[in-house]
Structure 1
Amino acid sequence: MTTLRTGLIGSLAIFFSMVLNLGICAAQEYPSKPIRFIVPYGAGGAADISTRVIAPRLAAAFGQHVIVDNRPGGGTIIASTLLAKAVGDGYTLMNANVTFSANPALHSKLPYDSIKDFVPITLIDLMPNVLLVHPSIAATSISELIALVKAKPGKLNYASAGIGSANHLNMELLKSVTGINVVNIPYQGGAQAMTSIVGGETQLLFVTVPPALPHIRSGRVRVLAATSTKRIATLPEVPTISEAFLPGFDFHEWHGVLAPAGIPKEVVSRLNREINKILMVTEVRERLSSIGAEATGSTPEQMAQHVQSEVRKWKKVVKPVD
């Protein structure tokens, strides 16, 4: 019996050693073919830009093509479904954002599990917003705006790039903590939403700094506050919502890399390491800064905690739309 047990233990040790060596070999050989990097939006937006600034440098580091695959539509659900169904081998990645984390709250049924079907690789960046009002609105501070809206419930509206967009989610967060009632006017994209407030079709808009800056400087819109907990470097005179009205209020758009479930840990570690190196490159940080994003990077564990925290937050803030 002792001999049998010893033999069994020895066999198991050899088996697990072989499995470990296979994982190490897989990581060492990875990648041996092109990588697909899915973007849940069309070309030209922040998600597309942040992906395309990383992709060629990742290709250079790996010696393989990294193909950017734009799959817009469905509020990122189309792209997320593609990723969930992909093989977990490290050859399919996706640039996820705040909409991805809000979808479990917005939709009663999704064709995937936002936590179990994906493996976080790293956070890419954070993007604070600013709150704009049309000059016709008689408010010069966030406190004055809240008082004005409460005096006219349901009479003012705000622009968004659609249900689940950052503009929409940011305002829903503000509504949830202040009890204000403003009406969402959804457009087909951020550019149309900006045009609507400049033209006076809408009165309020949360947006990142770069597209807003020229309109702020020209006086075509008024900026009341920033959504980050610290002031934005390009608009140091603008107070944050946290300091001026609601201590602790914090909203950032964000981008991060996900892979399908089942990806080997060794491959996750290598992807994390290489992408974080890229995010330290000066040219990369400057390009991200030009779209209002601060390059961050993270460990896979930090990215996982971020996604889980975001999913929990939006389940408390927004209601299902279907």
Structure 2
Amino acid sequence: MKSLARLRALLGGLLAALCAGTAAWAAPYPEHPVRLVVPYPAGGATDGAIRVLAERLGAAWGQPVIVDNRAGASGRLGLALVAKSPHSYNFVAATNSTISDELTRGGDGSFLLARDLVPVVTIFTTPVALLVHTGTGVDSMAQYIALAQRRPGAVSFGSSGEGTSTHFYGELLKRESRIDITHIPFAGEGPNLTELLGGHIQSAFLSASGAKKAQQTGKTRILAITTPGGSMLLPGVPSFTQLGIAGLDRDSWVGLFAPLGTSQAVRDEVAREVRKVFAVPEVRERYVQLGLIAEGGTPQELEQRVQADRAYWTRVVQETGIKLK
């Protein structure tokens, strides 16, 4: 009888421990505040989109979701910060320009995304547009190309920085249209837009958000966008593809990434909640107002997006001969 009693006691203890362990393992995520790093200045489209998302996630989780702007080095400082942060509670919202820049520099031994960060979910996509200042007298893509052909090197195009997709698109346009236009890099879209509006550069590649802001001033014209079939964000604007200009056919995007070591369960949970947020019509409409298309998806889908961009932009760098410093 004593042996039976001891066995029952032992089994009871094991069962209690198992239940406690299961309860701990099944503790709801998150258990304390979450940080979303935006590696770009406050006030931009990415910052606005992440703040809308953070507010909704905080309400769903019952925990503060803090937006932390850490601008610098075209977003690379923010990526490096999160890569070194504790996993599961720190994330960074990075554009494809920042990610592609890191991937194309990786061969030189620089920071490698795949080594330090893991994908979580796609936040949004947005077209890239080519705009001209009205002072050029240009009304169409054909006129822009004709002007550049008449005045080689005299027409400038602004980008959000060296090695960004807005830089690459200008180089692709030069190659595909056989024109010589001068690249003027800026530290982000804000300065690029400001200089275009001031007439200090003749043209610029901007996000749909920046293009909308520029269009409202009456000082610019939108010539073409990268979305192959056109975009609801900029209705009536033809795509480069529709105009017969190959290669400029990939939209910009922003994805959420986490430090290496963040579990698949946490990444799936965050992606699941983001999808719930983006299922709300009010949120999707707010993104459209920002010039963005809310996406969502899974960590695996973002990984596929990253790899596709890696192959695409690596090829672009090789074909155009762009040298990244």
| Greater CA drift, 35-44 or 151-160 | 151-160
1:126 and 1:293 in contact (8 A); partners too: yes
Change over 3 Å in CA distance of 1:266–1:235 after alignment to 2: closer
- % identical equivalent positions: 34
Say which of 95, 119, 122 aligns to 1:97: 95
Who is 1:44 aligned against? Answer: 43
Cα drift, residue 321 of structure 1: 2.5
Change over 3 Å in CA distance of 1:248–1:100 after alignment to 2: closer
2:155 and 2:181 in contact (8 A); partners too: yes
- Secondary structure at the residue paired with 2:119? strand
Whether 2:61 is the aligned partner of 1:58: answer no
Who is 1:289 aligned against? Answer: 288
Change over 3 Å in CA distance of 1:177–1:117 after alignment to 2: farther
The residue type equivalent to 1:94 in the other structure is V
Equivalent-residue separation in structure 2 for 1:189 and 1:290 (angstroms): 20
The residue type equivalent to 2:111 in the other structure is Y
Higher relative contact order (CA 8 A, sep 6+): 1
Instruction: Report how many aligned residue pairs link the two structures.
Output: 302
Who is 1:301 aligned against? Answer: 300
The residue type equivalent to 2:236 in the other structure is E
Who is 1:34 aligned against? Answer: 33
Cα drift, residue 214 of structure 1: 5.7
Whether 2:128 is the aligned partner of 1:125: answer no
Whether 2:210 is the aligned partner of 1:208: answer no
Equivalent-residue separation in structure 2 for 1:78 and 1:22 (angstroms): 39
- Secondary structure at the residue paired with 1:169? helix
Structure 2: state its 5+ residue gaps. 1-17
1:108 and 1:320 in contact (8 A); partners too: no
- Secondary structure at the residue paired with 1:242? coil
| Greater CA drift, 168-177 or 210-219 | 210-219
Query: What is the alpha-carbon root mean square deviation over aligned residues?
Result: 2.6
Cα drift, residue 182 of structure 1: 1.6
Cα drift, residue 225 of structure 1: 1.3
The residue type equivalent to 1:311 in the other structure is R
1:106 and 1:320 in contact (8 A); partners too: no
Change over 3 Å in CA distance of 1:105–1:177 after alignment to 2: farther
Equivalent-residue separation in structure 2 for 1:51 and 1:24 (angstroms): 32
TM-score normalised over the length of structure 2 = 0.83
Change over 3 Å in CA distance of 1:92–1:219 after alignment to 2: closer
Who is 1:141 aligned against? Answer: 140
Deviations 1:171-230 (CA, angstroms, capped at 9, x unpaired)? 234335444332122234423322322332111111133443364366422221122112
2:160 and 2:185 in contact (8 A); partners too: yes
Cα drift, residue 82 of structure 1: 1.3
Equivalent-residue separation in structure 1 for 2:227 and 2:310 (angstroms): 19
The residue type equivalent to 1:82 in the other structure is L
1:162 and 1:186 in contact (8 A); partners too: yes
1:131 and 1:225 in contact (8 A); partners too: yes
Change over 3 Å in CA distance of 1:82–1:225 after alignment to 2: same
Change over 3 Å in CA distance of 1:79–1:216 after alignment to 2: closer
Change over 3 Å in CA distance of 1:300–1:181 after alignment to 2: same
Structure 1: state its 5+ residue gaps. 1-17
Equivalent-residue separation in structure 1 for 2:104 and 2:228 (angstroms): 25
Cα drift, residue 52 of structure 1: 0.7
| Greater CA drift, 207-216 or 250-259 | 207-216
TM-score normalised over the length of structure 1 = 0.84
| Greater CA drift, 177-186 or 266-275 | 177-186
Whether 2:314 is the aligned partner of 1:315: answer yes
- Secondary structure at the residue paired with 1:250? coil
Equivalent-residue separation in structure 1 for 2:41 and 2:195 (angstroms): 21
Cα drift, residue 27 of structure 1: 5.6
- Secondary structure at the residue paired with 1:268? helix
Who is 2:10 aligned against? Answer: none
Change over 3 Å in CA distance of 1:50–1:188 after alignment to 2: same
Who is 1:12 aligned against? Answer: none
1:84 and 1:117 in contact (8 A); partners too: yes
Cα drift, residue 282 of structure 1: 1.8
